[in-house]
Chains A and B, each alone.
Chain A
């Protein structure tokens, strides 16, 4: 037997045999703070801890006060634990929502050194100093101490639990679903609504955050149609599960309402298991698009605000009933009940039935209805009417309640449990997610939904209908209506019989005289004094109150605190509650794991990979790849014996310049342009003329944005009278298509022109270098004449290769050499690259990657993305002369604004270092040679740079103020972030073959 087993508790002494609806025949074990306990399947961690008599579960955020379990649901502010361990550790997990599984491990958090003895609980001694917002008033002197001293101390104390320190090992799914009627909440109202809607034939989704449908049917001792409510709920759930077109989503929280009737929901698929089974996600994100919605999210009980009301052992009355009736756990042996409403009365009988004593029933109301009085008298409890619990006693657990009677007498009642009820707040958060304001209902002293998101109706307690009979009736009716509005036949709503219940309330927002701190927000330690202080300092608007005191900002999102605080503020400002403000909620209803929202998009699957047609072959060659947007492109092809990437790139450039090099250029954007007005369209898109372009020829073109800046460049070939193929740069393929479509659809809808993106349809390879035609001859079928006479520079046409495969051939060059590009349908790309590489062997050719391509394009002064950066005009880039003055084109008008015609604008130049050993890097700035290195003297920057193997030194392109006028001048190349400052000579951007002899052959 291990050491741990020795510490096993005398097990489950608070479990009441014969009560509750969970399976007590099986026993499972779990640990809390290292101690081993027993519980049953169906327990929550909270119910199992209570069954074992564990009351102290956590520590509060600011004062580190001992805290127990307040609630039995997702509104829990106190009982937060770190669940699981290692890379599955989940901080701030509400013990009240954790389903117990065998071997569960949980620990308390935000305490040091231990839960029972927490050093920072000393904070509460300084409570009046650490009042709301105290930190805004101090820690200001001296200024430098904030980052060095004050803030580090604050950050050490900050936070609740610890996030895992490794990657989340589990996976997450996403689903999109459509339905006629979405029912949110599976309590009595939701069940009635779903049954109704299903009976009308509607496609229904019903979602509930619990493992089973039933809601408070499972927690209360009530009858529906002569059945115990829990049994009725079980039958209802079975019926729904067996109905076609009804989807029951348990363990699923609808967390947000979005535009377009979209609802976000989180299904906790595997959180009730030790680890997700293989191939099963931990959680699933549902995007539900619902024609109609019945919101049946129930209500949340309000705490009473009295002195020391945060001690472990003070619990919501409804939660006490839940633990007794659903889990068969009695949370104390000697209970006081403190309430201001009739609903709490049933708690007495439940506690007594569980074999515990009710030491007193304290009600702030002086007068109760005869029916309620009869219940009290039947129960035989000491009823203190018109009285208040003022304070509690105890240290880590309550030992008694201090009660003031209506006569002012003080009575000390020994007890270990206070069941409190301040009334119920409808769970209307989802009704307010689209910014609708709720309405104050005096009768139930709570906000109810008013304006609603489109298609939503609210049933039962969520709409302020707090009795079971009302919940069932409203649910049944709204389910029918929702189905009908969604296009299903109208049917009659069925009715349900229930036992009568009383439900009156006289609100008590805070006990008038209290001793000790009276907490409004438990998690963030916001007390009535803090609300008073906020009021005193002018933070009376509800949002100011929340932000100043941090009320409602905790992981419970203020479910138990917001309305109480609002009411206290209303009393302070002597106005009504709705006048102080309403509480609208922001999504999510309960916190959602970031992993679930991210889904599968993480690690290598963050974004798809686009693979060029030669990818497989390039991998086999050992190519090194680089990211170009989503594309993976070969950067260079190292060969055995090459020392580094530079040597490889030199070889690739050298071979291309002297023999032949092959490069996959399939990633360039390709847009098929067809139609009788295609030429007119191109004339309006490009700055240069297109009318004279013959069929079978290609031309370089530049297009501008509407504001006159260069958008993209590329060649467009005329394949037929009304058929063009446009190429774009790799990076701008999508943007250019978008631009063209906008122009076609919005600016010139009358033009007869159609566009089709065909980038993925073609594998295209460039063959560059003096031997490129010889290489081409090896694969182009012999009947095609590719002599310079028949196929000159800028020719384009269809050929057949490799014995009959149709291909497109273009004579284009990016590298400045004689070059061709050949395109075949993508599926032949792999075969073609292999054929080409075999054919190239006799010429000692090479494949080259983006790095060599970059070198050669800079040598040639061709533009890249760094030059066409969205802030350069055609004039800036030396393309001014291309702009036709005989036509209008996109960008012409705005391009002629004075600011863009300013001769002082930086313009394209070439740069070479004065000392050939010096390196120029892109991103360096250009300043006059001897000028002081400040922004006032900044005259431009280096856009692209590379080492030119032919020239034996770095070459660069840059944008320099009045650049072309300054050729021959020496400028400073200033690169402080890389610690360099050198001199360079301004030269023409064409470093290699400026006359273009090599190009034309």
Chain B
């Protein structure tokens, strides 16, 4: 990256002086070449991060990212922007903590302000059993060197006085707080990684839909796309809710179901919600963006679907949770509602692994939690593609763990994707 390309307050002032005519495309609009060393399928956060780390950390070249529509059109732009590493199980905590550390250095790394904002993530508890479960989780985090605090009701009240402490069906008894958790401007993650990858020579190819994976003698050879055939020595599939459809092109059946998860944003109001708050007695969580919109969500719609839209019952259920937790929301208006396709795995945890097809690699099964994982998923997938073995923190995310009985089941829900 040349000095001229670097973003800073000085570049902004310099460009403003010239009427903003000197800015260059954030990434090049390129046509596909006949072949690459690595082709990442899916220009979402994970795919773009993978390409960036392949080039920046593993020195790989001849890399392309192919995207069906416009980059960032999938879940990276459809989530509720939360980052956290408040996990319970040893298979998960180090991975998500690596992700958190990468978030913390992201802007300096990629020279793009994705507004990583560590305003805290608070999970409320409403019973002794929930308290004990959060204590167990908080202790696991602390043993892994991750920050966690168990708060009682009085401390919660000081932190988030705007919740219903007076008339609740399930009174708030306390909460588990991760101060380093927070939010990130989601679209900017895709754009920032795209820009950084592009600067390192990665070809980002938009409007390029994969329609087939050519396999010869158990080996992936390349991709048939809407823009022609692209040869590839390695193919990394990173397509979230479309994982099972893309893997089917190579004859694979994944332990994944696609479900709809809705998210909501209110009209912009003057900020009063500092960090992220998660209701423990209903499906509801909320934060407030830097623009003032209240960003909130809840449970998945519960049926298998490839449609990026949700339905009324869950929308009502989420707002019921919102009103139970924050009855002052009554007159705030919901501005937009949308649905994302989440790749729900059998244990609620992801898969970053080789597949039975040689040269074909899989990054999938992120359920509703893929956004916070973006940097680590990119790094670990790049590691796998480059070293042909899992990254240390992603050793548990194997495709065969369901056969061997090594599920990573945070919620203890069992092999029911819609319950995770």
Residues on A facing B (Cβ under 8 Å): 61, 87-92, 128-129, 131, 134-141, 143, 146-147, 151, 154-156, 158-168, 170, 172, 174, 256, 258-260, 262, 264, 285, 287, 433-435, 529, 533, 536-539, 541, 543-544, 547-548, 550, 553-555, 557, 586-588, 591-595, 597-599, 601-607, 609, 626-627, 705-709, 865-866, 869-871, 894, 897-901, 921-925, 933-935, 938, 941-942, 974-978
When distances are taken between beta carbons in the complex, the residues of chain B under 8 Å from A592 are 333-334
When distances are taken between beta carbons in the complex, the residues of chain A under 8 Å from B77 are 543, 547
Known interface pairs A159-B291, A163-B331, A586-B336; A146-B405 also in contact (CB < 8 Å): no
Residue contact A897 to B333, C-beta cutoff 8 Å:
no
Residue contact A61 to B188, C-beta cutoff 8 Å:
no
Pairs across A and B, CB under 8 Å, 11 listed? A138-B8, A165-B272, A167-B327, A543-B70, A548-B191, A593-B333, A604-B169, A606-B170, A938-B140, A938-B143, A942-B136
Residue contact B312 to A287, C-beta cutoff 8 Å:
yes
Q: How far is the CA of A713 from the CA of B327 in the complex (A)?
A: 39
When distances are taken between beta carbons in the complex, the residues of chain A under 8 Å from B159 are none
Q: Mark B120-150, 1 if CB is under 8 A from A, else 0.
A: 0000001111011111111110111100111
When distances are taken between beta carbons in the complex, the residues of chain B under 8 Å from A128 are 16-17, 19-20
Known interface pairs A158-B268, A897-B403; A88-B331 also in contact (CB < 8 Å): yes
Q: How far is the CA of A447 from the CA of B352 in the complex (A)?
A: 43
Min Cβ gap B26→A in Å is 5
Picked from B111, B270, B324, the residue with its CB within 8 Å of the CB of A606 is: B324
Picked from A61, A89, A976, the residue with its CB within 8 Å of the CB of B139 is: A976
Picked from A158, A603, A897, A938, the residue with its CB within 8 Å of the CB of B271 is: A158
Residue contact A925 to B143, C-beta cutoff 8 Å:
yes
Q: How far is the CA of A922 from the CA of B130 in the complex (A)?
A: 10
Residue contact A158 to B291, C-beta cutoff 8 Å:
yes
- A88-B331, A923-B133 are known; give 15 further A-B pairs, CB within 8 A: A92-B267, A129-B13, A140-B7, A143-B107, A163-B329, A167-B164, A544-B72, A593-B331, A609-B169, A709-B414, A865-B129, A866-B129, A870-B411, A900-B405, A976-B142
Q: How far is the CA of A627 from the CA of B173 in the complex (A)?
A: 12
Q: How far is the CA of A613 from the CA of B416 in the complex (A)?
A: 34
Residue contact A598 to B320, C-beta cutoff 8 Å:
yes
> Any chain A CB within 8 A of the CB of B200?
no
Chain A residue with minimal CB distance to B93? A935
Residue contact A870 to B415, C-beta cutoff 8 Å:
no
When distances are taken between beta carbons in the complex, the residues of chain A under 8 Å from B334 are 588, 591-594, 597
Picked from A131, A603, A609, the residue with its CB within 8 Å of the CB of B167 is: A603
Residue contact A591 to B333, C-beta cutoff 8 Å:
yes
Min Cβ gap A856→B in Å is 16
Residue contact A870 to B118, C-beta cutoff 8 Å:
no
> Any chain A CB within 8 A of the CB of B409?
yes
Residue contact A593 to B308, C-beta cutoff 8 Å:
no
Interface residues of B in 346-364 (CB under 8 A from A): none
Q: How far is the CA of A287 from the CA of B191 in the complex (A)?
A: 39
> Any chain A CB within 8 A of the CB of B90?
yes
When distances are taken between beta carbons in the complex, the residues of chain B under 8 Å from A706 are 414-415
Residue contact A147 to B268, C-beta cutoff 8 Å:
no
Q: Mark B295-320, 1 if CB is under 8 A from A, else 0.
A: 00000000000011101100110111
When distances are taken between beta carbons in the complex, the residues of chain B under 8 Å from A165 are 162, 272, 328
> Any chain A CB within 8 A of the CB of B252?
no
Picked from B104, B143, B316, the residue with its CB within 8 Å of the CB of A934 is: B143
> Any chain A CB within 8 A of the CB of B386?
no
> Any chain A CB within 8 A of the CB of B117?
yes
Residue contact B135 to A161, C-beta cutoff 8 Å:
no
Residue contact A136 to B7, C-beta cutoff 8 Å:
yes
Residue contact A925 to B331, C-beta cutoff 8 Å:
no
Residue contact B7 to A550, C-beta cutoff 8 Å:
no
Residue contact B407 to A707, C-beta cutoff 8 Å:
yes
When distances are taken between beta carbons in the complex, the residues of chain B under 8 Å from A921 are 132, 135
> Any chain A CB within 8 A of the CB of B115?
yes
Residue of A170, A262, A536, A594 with most partner-chain B CB within 10 A: A594
> Any chain A CB within 8 A of the CB of B31?
no
When distances are taken between beta carbons in the complex, the residues of chain A under 8 Å from B414 are 705-707, 709, 870
Min Cβ gap A306→B in Å is 19
Picked from B112, B117, B290, B333, the residue with its CB within 8 Å of the CB of A158 is: B290
Residue of B17, B282, B319, B334 with most partner-chain A CB within 10 A: B319
Q: Mark B409-420, 1 if CB is under 8 A from A, else 0.
A: 101111100000
Residue contact A168 to B139, C-beta cutoff 8 Å:
no
When distances are taken between beta carbons in the complex, the residues of chain A under 8 Å from B406 are 899
Interface size band for B: 35 or more
Chain B residue with minimal CB distance to A905? B405
Q: How far is the CA of A897 from the CA of B330 in the complex (A)?
A: 51
Min Cβ gap B261→A in Å is 14
When distances are taken between beta carbons in the complex, the residues of chain A under 8 Å from B403 are 897
Q: How far is the CA of A901 from the CA of B13 in the complex (A)?
A: 65
Known interface pairs A435-B307, A547-B77; A168-B150 also in contact (CB < 8 Å): no
Q: How far is the CA of A557 from the CA of B265 in the complex (A)?
A: 12
Q: How far is the CA of A202 from the CA of B405 in the complex (A)?
A: 59
Residue of A131, A143, A587, A924 with most partner-chain B CB within 10 A: A587
Interface residues of B in 96-126 (CB under 8 A from A): 104-105, 107-108, 111-119, 126
When distances are taken between beta carbons in the complex, the residues of chain A under 8 Å from B105 are 143
Residue contact A155 to B26, C-beta cutoff 8 Å:
no
Picked from B29, B268, B413, the residue with its CB within 8 Å of the CB of A61 is: B268
Residue contact A131 to B16, C-beta cutoff 8 Å:
yes
Residue contact B167 to A604, C-beta cutoff 8 Å:
yes
Q: How far is the CA of A538 from the CA of B114 in the complex (A)?
A: 18
Q: How far is the CA of A900 from the CA of B415 in the complex (A)?
A: 14
Residue contact A151 to B115, C-beta cutoff 8 Å:
yes
Query: What 10 pairs between A and B have smallest CB-CB spacing?
Result: A870-B412, A168-B330, A923-B135, A159-B292, A899-B405, A595-B330, A897-B405, A598-B323, A591-B333, A538-B25
Residue contact A555 to B335, C-beta cutoff 8 Å:
yes
Interface residues of B in 384-420 (CB under 8 A from A): 401, 403-407, 409, 411-415
Residue contact B324 to A601, C-beta cutoff 8 Å:
yes
When distances are taken between beta carbons in the complex, the residues of chain A under 8 Å from B268 are 61, 92, 158-160, 554-555
Residue contact B328 to A898, C-beta cutoff 8 Å:
no
Chain A residue with minimal CB distance to B90? A935
Residue contact A586 to B115, C-beta cutoff 8 Å:
no
When distances are taken between beta carbons in the complex, the residues of chain A under 8 Å from B26 are 537-539
Q: How far is the CA of A546 from the CA of B55 in the complex (A)?
A: 30
Residue contact A151 to B290, C-beta cutoff 8 Å:
yes
Min Cβ gap A634→B in Å is 15
Q: How far is the CA of A539 from the CA of B27 in the complex (A)?
A: 9
When distances are taken between beta carbons in the complex, the residues of chain B under 8 Å from A938 are 90, 140, 143
> Any chain A CB within 8 A of the CB of B332?
yes
Q: How far is the CA of A126 from the CA of B142 in the complex (A)?
A: 46
Residue contact B270 to A146, C-beta cutoff 8 Å:
no
Residue contact A603 to B115, C-beta cutoff 8 Å:
no
Min Cβ gap B391→A in Å is 17
Q: How far is the CA of A582 from the CA of B138 in the complex (A)?
A: 47
Residue contact A709 to B412, C-beta cutoff 8 Å:
yes
Chain A residue with minimal CB distance to B28? A538
> Any chain A CB within 8 A of the CB of B58?
no
Min Cβ gap B206→A in Å is 7
Chain A residue with minimal CB distance to B303? A259
When distances are taken between beta carbons in the complex, the residues of chain B under 8 Å from A539 are 26
Residue contact A941 to B320, C-beta cutoff 8 Å:
no
Residue contact A935 to B144, C-beta cutoff 8 Å:
yes
Q: How far is the CA of A552 from the CA of B132 in the complex (A)?
A: 45
Residue contact A166 to B328, C-beta cutoff 8 Å:
yes
Q: How far is the CA of A131 from the CA of B270 in the complex (A)?
A: 22
Q: How far is the CA of A865 from the CA of B132 in the complex (A)?
A: 12
Picked from B113, B162, B164, B332, the residue with its CB within 8 Å of the CB of A91 is: B332
